[in-house]
């Protein structure tokens, strides 16, 4: 079986400040590029300063070039909705004005149909108390923003993290999309050890856990939320007796917090939407791979082998192993 042929398409989303709309899509399988820019207005090649005056009609947006045979448009829509406030008609979070309003710009009739369907599903889910006001509009000319605005989260990570949190976006999106957990149901679903690790910040014994020496190819997801977290391609034997990884699948599904328990200063790793305790990250990993060691409890993970990815709903990750 050969790989399916590439089918490159464009997707364009306005989600408020474009700095915050690159990272959620970036580095996903099948995503070729995420460009920050301006669209929807009536002037050519506008500057950031001009767009900020709200006189050009443009909105800050991202344009994604993606392989729809690997990462379907419907999954892009899911990511978009999970990273905005779709009930805000006057901007996004701290950022006010026309150029910060949200929109899905469709490039063909199929994208329009899928966008309207996903908006309807979100309304019917009653996840938000207010009406969904995000517009669905035909795509027009897209003008890339100035170089300093491209991949801002990578160029200025400290400022980006402060802005992402300080603007209110981080708290809002996690509050609305975090998995609602019923302790009694979780206790039935999880083993006592899985519950202790994920819900009470416990630690399983080294060398006596499921995945510390796993040699099979596939991905690891949060046992509670199903969020994709780590890949076997980034797993290595650190000799510590727990599954160790040089990096997560996406930084976007990982939260890192200061942990001062047990008289130590460590960085705790939790899943973003499941809010499960996963383990800790240390800076004693392989230098040639970035120097980090994500030391993770097997009990917080579920492993999905590469030949089961499609049936389990993670088909986009198959391309990592081809």
User: In the structure, what pLDDT confidence band is assigned to residue 1 with cuts at 50, 70 and 90?
Assistant: very low
On the 0-12 / 13-18 / 19+ scale of CB atoms within 10 A, 243 is buried
pLDDT at 168 over 60: yes
Do 8-177 and 183-321 fold alike per CATH? no
Task: List pLDDT tens digits, range 29-83.
Answer: 999 999 999 999 999 999 999 999 999 999 999 999 999 999 999 999 999 999 9
Lowest pLDDT segment from 4-18, 109-123, 199-213 = 4-18
Mean pLDDT of the region 228-249: 96
Q: Yes or no: is domain 8-177 CATH 3.30.1060.10?
A: yes
pLDDT at 130: 95
pLDDT at 200 over 60: yes
User: In the structure, what pLDDT confidence band is assigned to residue 219 with cuts at 50, 70 and 90?
Assistant: very high
CATH number of the 183-321 domain: 2.170.150.20
Report yes or no: 166 and 158 within 8 Å, Cβ to Cβ.
no
pLDDT at 24 over 60: yes
Q: Catalytic one among 20, 52, 240, 295? A: 295
pLDDT at 154 over 70: yes
How many angstroms separate the CA atoms of 304 and 308, rounded?
6
How many angstroms separate the CA atoms of 219 and 210, rounded?
14
Q: Is 17 labeled as catalytic in the residue annotation? A: yes
How many angstroms separate the CA atoms of 172 and 93, rounded?
9
Mean pLDDT of the region 117-136: 96
For 43-64, letters b (16+ CB in 10 Å) and e give eeebeeebbeeeebebbbbbbb
Task: List pLDDT tens digits, range 270-286.
Answer: 999 999 999 999 999 99
In SS3 terms, the chain reads as CCCCCCCEEEEEEEECCHHHHCCCCCCCCCEEEEEEEEECCCCCCCCHHHHHCCCCCCEEEEEEEEECCCCCHHHHHHHHHCCCCCCCCCEECCEECHHHCEEEEECCHHHHHHHHHHHHHHHHHCCCCCCCCCEEEECCCEEECCHHHCCHHHHCHHHHHHHHHHCCHHHHHHHHHCCCCCHHHHHHHCCHHHHHHHHHCCCCCCCCCCCCCCCCCEEEEECCCCCEEEEHHHEECCCCCCCEECCCCCHHHEEEEEECHHHCCEEEEEECCCCCEEEEEECCCCHHHCCCEEEECHHHEEEEEHHHCCCCCCHHHHHHHC
Mode of pairing for the β-strands spanning 135-138 and 142-144: unpaired
User: In the structure, what pLDDT confidence band is assigned to residue 264 with cuts at 50, 70 and 90?
Assistant: confident
Q: Is 20 labeled as catalytic in the residue annotation? A: no
Domain ranges of the chain: 8-177, 183-321
pLDDT at 3 over 80: no
């Amino acid at each position: 079986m050969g790989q399916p042929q590439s089918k490159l398409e464009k997707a364009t989303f306005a989600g408020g400040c474009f700095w915050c709309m690159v990272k959620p899509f970036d580095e996903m399988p099948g995503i070729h590029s995420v460009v920050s820019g301006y669209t929807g207005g009536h002037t050519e090649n506008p500057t950031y300063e001009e767009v900020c005056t709200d006189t050009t009609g443009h909105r800050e947006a991202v344009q994604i070039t993606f392989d729809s045979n690997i990462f379907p448009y419907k999954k892009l829509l899911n990511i978009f909705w999970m990273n905005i406030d779709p009930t805000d008609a006057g901007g996004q979070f701290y950022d006010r004005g026309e150029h910060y309003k949200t929109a899905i710009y469709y490039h063909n009739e199929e994208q329009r149909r899928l966008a309207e369907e996903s908006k309807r599903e979100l309304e019917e889910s009653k996840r938000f108390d207010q009406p969904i006001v995000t517009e669905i509009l035909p795509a027009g000319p897209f003008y890339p923003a100035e170089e300093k605005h491209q991949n801002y989260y990578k160029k200025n990570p400290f400022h980006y993290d402060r802005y992402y949190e300080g603007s209110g976006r981080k708290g809002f999106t996690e509050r609305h999309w975090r998995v609602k957990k019923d302790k009694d149901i979780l206790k039935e679903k999880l083993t006592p050890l899985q519950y202790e690790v994920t819900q009470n910040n416990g630690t399983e014994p080294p060398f006596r856990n499921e995945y510390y020496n796993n040699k099979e190819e596939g991905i690891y997801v949060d046992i509670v939320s199903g969020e994709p977290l780590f890949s076997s391609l980034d797993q290595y034997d650190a000799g510590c007796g727990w599954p160790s990884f040089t990096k997560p699948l996406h930084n976007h599904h990982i939260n890192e917090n200061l942990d001062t328990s047990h008289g130590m200063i460590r960085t705790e790793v939790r899943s973003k939407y499941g809010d499960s305790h996963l383990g800790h990250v240390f800076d004693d990993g392989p230098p040639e791979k970035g120097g980090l060691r994500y030391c993770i409890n097997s009990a917080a993970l579920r492993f999905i082998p590469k030949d089961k990815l499609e049936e389990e709903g993670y088909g986009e990750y198959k391309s990592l192993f081809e």
